[in-house]
Amino acid sequence: MKIGASTLAGIDHKLEDSLEFIENLGLEYAELVHQYPFEKIEAEVLESYNLKYSIHAPFMDVNIASLQKKSRLSSIEQIKTSIDLANEIDAEAVVVHPGSIPFLANKYFKDKVYETTNNSIKELGDYGKDLGVLATIENMPTFEGMIYQNLKDLDEVLTSYDMAMTLDIGHANHVGYAPDEMIFDSIKHVHAHDNFGDDDAHLALGEGSIDLNHIINVLEKKNYNGIYIIEVNDYDSIKKSYNYMKKNF
């Protein structure tokens, strides 16, 4: 079982502090949040740690579904930078958000927005394939305007493009999916965190109401070979979550 943690927990610390904490905890992987304040990440810095990596492409002020051409192209270029970094450091996966839809576009141009994000998803997937990088698309929580909260719809698009999903367990629970409804063959990467269904709280594993044991056991029975990235709010929650994983699996 491949287990890692996201540097999101230390977003207000130096990147080196987060990587040192993750390494000292005994985890094998770190997921690099590749956006402000860590827009520039040097491969030489990463090589000094006994870690393997995945990358979370930028999602702040980024929207691959934007109908504004310059905004969409800028977003795609920023995410391609993450794919380039993944290629440079041999990262196992890149996580991409599928974009958002503002209220006016939702009212008048919803179909066009989904067509646009699907085209962007395919472009990024093809770019990753050309470099030998696995570009994955993440399912979203129940927040207004977020695209692809629906796991089945996301799976259908990704399957048609021969692409992979990052299953965010906490997001899926926030939308209201039961554990058995979260499992798809397209899942190649997992974000693990807990909540009570009422908020995307990113709690430590075992501190919410999600039946994590069932979800992970089903994935393991299906020979899931990706990473389980602990994506929580602080270092203490990483430690608690890793202890939960060691105890239960």
Q: Average the pLDDT over 66-95 and give the result.
A: 98
Query: 137 is written with which tokens?
Result: 């698309």
Residues in Cβ contact with 14 at an 8 Å cutoff, skipping those fewer than 6 apart: none
Instruction: Please name each of the domains of the chain with its CATH number.
Output: 2-248 (3.20.20.150)
Residues 87-128 pLDDT 10s: 999 999 999 999 999 887 878 898 999 999 999 999 999 999
Q: Average the pLDDT over 50-64 and give the result.
A: 97
Residue 160 has pLDDT above 90, yes or no: yes
Q: Average the pLDDT over 183-212 and give the result.
A: 98
CA distances to 75, 187, 188, 195, 225 from 131, in Å:
19, 20, 18, 36, 21
In DSSP terms, which residues pair with 30 in a beta bridge? 5, 53
Which helix (DSSP H) or strand (DSSP E) does residue 96 occupy? Answer: strand 94-96
> What are the helix (H) ranges across the chain?
15-25, 43-46, 69-89, 103-108, 110-131, 151-160, 169-175, 212-221, 235-248
Provide the pLDDT for residue 104.
79
Provide the pLDDT for residue 108.
87
